[in-house]
Amino acid sequence: MLDRLAKSASSEKIRVLIVDDSATVRRALSDIISSAPDLEVMATASDPYKAAERMRDEIPDVMFLDIEMPRMDGLTFLRRIMAQRPIPVVICSTLTAEGSTAFMQALEAGAVDVITKPRVDTAQALSDSRMRICDVARAAAHARIGVRRRVVQPVKIEKKLTADAIIPHVTLRKRPGLITDRIIAIGASTGGTEALRAVLTALPLDCPGIVIVQHMPERFTASFAERLDGLCRIAVKEAETGDPVIPGRALIAPGNHHMLLERLGKQYRVVIKDGPHVSRHRPSVDVLFRSAAQAAGANAMGILLTGMGDDGAHGLLEMRSAGARTVAQDEATCVVFGMPKEAIALGAAEKILPLDRIARQITEDVRRSPEACAS
C-alpha cells in the first residue's frame, strides 16, 4: 500500500479521480482532463462507494466530485474523506440557487474549489470549460490540505490576455485632488472562499466600502454573497452595474463578468462588463485592481489572497505605483501560494501578512489621516 501511495505522489502527471453518476459528464470531464499534457484521469466512478473502492488501491492527487448522487451524496462523502484521508476535492456541479446551502457546506467542509459541469454545446463553451477545468485541477493539486501539499512540476500555459483587453493602461501621476472615501479591493482564487469569510467576518460595520473578485462560476457568486451576508456584520451582495461602493458593504463580482471601479466626484460605483478572459479569468483581479488604481489611487488598499497563477499581481503593482497600500497573504496561511507569490516577486506587496492579520490591517489603514489619502 505504501508503495502505491509513493507511486501516486511521485507521478509526473497530476492524477484525477472523477466521481459523478452521469456517464456523459464522466466522459466529458475525462476527455477534457486527458487533453492536457500534465493531467491524467486515474479513474472514474459513478458513486462514492465505487470511488472509495478505487482509492483503496491508489490515492488521487485531485478528486472532481458531484454533490447530487445516488446511494451517498457528495457532501457526505467529502466529509468522510476530510476526516479520514484529506485530499484536494473540487466540487463539479449544476447546483442552482436552491442548492446554495449544499454548495457553501461543501466549501466549509474542505472543498478547495467549485466549477460547473462542462459545456460542450458550442466550440467557445467547450474551450472555456477546458481552460477552467484544467486550471482548477492544477490549482487543486498545489493546495495545502492539512499538512499536505504536493510538489507539482510547472507546466507551460498558453498565452493569456492582460487587463489591456478590458481597460486601457494609463500612466498615473500622484496629484492633489478631491478627498474621497477609502475603498478596499480584494482578489482571491483557490481557497479564497474561506479566506474571504475569515477577513470579512472580522470587519466592523463602519469599514470602508469593499470590492471583491473571487474566481467562481456564474450563479455561484450570488449564493456565496448571500451566505457571507448572513455571517458578517457588514452587508455583502453580488455586484450590479451602478452599485455604489459605500462603507459597511462588500460587492462581489458576478461570475463570468468583469467588475471595474469608477469614481464619480467624491464617490465610487462599480461597472459590470463582458469581455474576454484576462489572465485566464473572468472576472479578473487584474481588471479590478487596474480600475482601482486609476479611480482611487492613494485612497485605495489592495489585498491579494490565496490562489493559483498570477492574476492580480500586475494589478496590485499598479495600485502600489498609484499610491495605494498593498497587502499579500503569506505562504503559511495560503491554500495555494501562487497569486500572492507572484505579486511579492514583482514588488507589488507593501506588506506580507498572515490571514488572521489582514482584517486588523484594514482597520489600522483606515485610521490614517485624510491628507495622506488624497489622490
- Long-range contacts formed by 23-32: CB under 8 A, 24+ apart: 25/66, 25/92, 25/117, 25/118, 28/117, 28/118, 28/120, 29/64, 29/92, 29/117, 29/118, 29/133, 32/118, 32/129, 32/130, 32/133, 32/134
Residue 120 is predicted with a pLDDT of 75
| Residue 75 near residue 98 (C-beta atoms within 8 A) | no
Strand ordering across the sheet containing 113-116: 39-45, 14-19, 62-65, 89-93, 113-116
Dist. CA 22–CA 92, nearest whole Å? 12
- pLDDT of 233-274, one tens digit each? 999 999 999 999 999 999 999 999 999 999 988 899 999 999
Terminal-to-terminal C-alpha distance of the chain:
62
Residue 258 is predicted with a pLDDT of 97
Residue 281 is predicted with a pLDDT of 93
Task: Provide the residue-wise pLDDT of the chain in tens; the chain has 375 residues.
Answer: 434 444 444 458 999 999 999 999 999 999 999 999 999 999 999 999 999 999 999 999 999 999 889 889 999 999 999 999 999 999 998 755 455 677 788 888 999 998 888 887 788 888 888 999 999 999 999 998 754 444 444 444 555 788 888 888 876 655 444 557 899 999 999 999 999 999 999 999 999 999 999 999 888 899 899 999 999 999 999 999 999 999 999 999 999 999 999 998 889 999 999 999 999 999 999 999 999 999 999 999 999 999 999 999 999 999 999 999 999 999 999 999 999 999 999 999 999 999 999 999 999 987 764 444 444
- Closest by CA position to 75, among listed 112, 114, 45, 102: 102
| Residue 82 near residue 112 (C-beta atoms within 8 A) | no
Dist. CA 206–CA 363, nearest whole Å? 9
In the Cβ-directed half-sphere of 264, how many Cα atoms lie within 13 Å? 10
Q: How far from the centroid of its chain's Cα atoms is residue 144's Cα?
A: 15
Report which residue type is found at 245.
V
Cα distances (angstroms) measured from residue 60 to each of 38, 122, 313: 14, 31, 31
- As a 3-state breakdown, the chain gives helix, strand, coil percent values, each rounded to 5, of 40, 20, 40
Torsion angles phi and psi, residue 92, rounded to 5: -120, 110
Grid cell 477609502 — which residue?
182
> Catalytic positions, please?
189, 215, 311
Cα distances (angstroms) measured from residue 90 to each of 43, 107, 143, 308: 15, 9, 11, 14
Report which residue type is found at 335.
V
Q: How far from the centroid of its chain's Cα atoms is residue 29's Cα?
A: 21
Residue 159 is predicted with a pLDDT of 58
Residue 304 is predicted with a pLDDT of 98
pTM to 2 decimal places: 0.88
Residue 11 is predicted with a pLDDT of 53
| Residue 110 near residue 86 (C-beta atoms within 8 A) | yes
